[in-house]
Amino acid sequence: MSGLTLVFGLFFYLSLAIFLVGFLAKTWKYAFTPAPLRIPQTPAPVSAAGVPVRMFQEVVFFKSLFRGNKLLWIGGYLFHLGLLFVLVEHLRFIIAPASSVLNTLVTYDLYSGFVLLAALTFLLILRVAIDRHLYISLASDYALLLLLLAIASSGLLSRFWDGGHIRMNLPQIKAFIGGLVTFNNIGSVPTNKLFLIHFSLVMLLLIYFPFSKLMHSGGLFFSPTRNQVDNPREKRWVTPWVKTRPTATLPSLEQQAPAAAAAPVQETAEVEG
């Protein structure tokens, strides 16, 4: 194993470990964060059976975003669709032999790459051109968009730049990536600079993922505004720690009466004195 293969192999495992540990830790935190109030965003389901339906609409169709901002919904939905197809198509580097369905999707990888790049460009323009988006945008938002744009651009560039020669190294890339994933027969890392840049950018994204807004992919399922039932009148909501914590009891009426009766007498004595 060459030194370059060892460096990028360790980079892959380190990035994957940070991603998995960070993602699981954040998800654990979301799951056990107290939700002291009933705060479902209306219109919300009035029964427990309606919660999965609402979550399905949010995850698959981005229903709340569609109702709130149509332009942002178009860019966000196209981005997620393009990213989904790109990720599925990249499974050909791991699965061997690839299924017929995967081979069919690979024929459209160029179109999904353009959709992904166009959607990211559109989202970046929205953040700069619209005042309310510009006002709430942070430096981390631009950094994340630029990182995703660099990944998409370097991937598409390999299809059109003859100097990239990535298409000629596909068997070598499959041997390297497949070996890393299966921990068996790791091939030599391709020395193509464009591949090394693309691979490094993806690993940086994995490292940054648990610490960025991309964690909404896991946190959405634990959002109280989405997963709560709108039934505060039918069922009183009591937080778990209130059920177990001992509560202070007020004195009974019999205990309060002597104290209340003695108070005026004391005041009268003070006035007479």
Residue-wise pLDDT tens digits, 242-256: 655 555 555 555 555
Per residue, the 3-state secondary structure of 227-260, as one string, reads HCCCCCCCCCCCCHHHHHCCCCCCCCHHHHHHHH
Residue 200 has a pLDDT of: 96
Residue 162 has a pLDDT of: 59
Write down the domain spans for the chain.
3-68+138-240
Residue 124 has a pLDDT of: 96
Q: What is the pLDDT of residues 188-223, one digit of tens each?
A: 888 888 889 999 999 999 999 999 999 999 999 999
Q: At residue 264, does pLDDT exceed 70? A: no
pTM of the model: 0.81
Confidence of residue 270 (pLDDT cuts 50, 70, 90): very low
Cis peptide before 97 (omega within 30 of 0): yes
Q: At residue 142, does pLDDT exceed 80? A: yes
The type of residue at 53 is V
Residue 103 has a pLDDT of: 77
Residue 272 has a pLDDT of: 46
Q: What is the pLDDT of residues 226-247, one digit of tens each?
A: 999 988 777 776 766 665 555 5
Confidence of residue 261 (pLDDT cuts 50, 70, 90): low
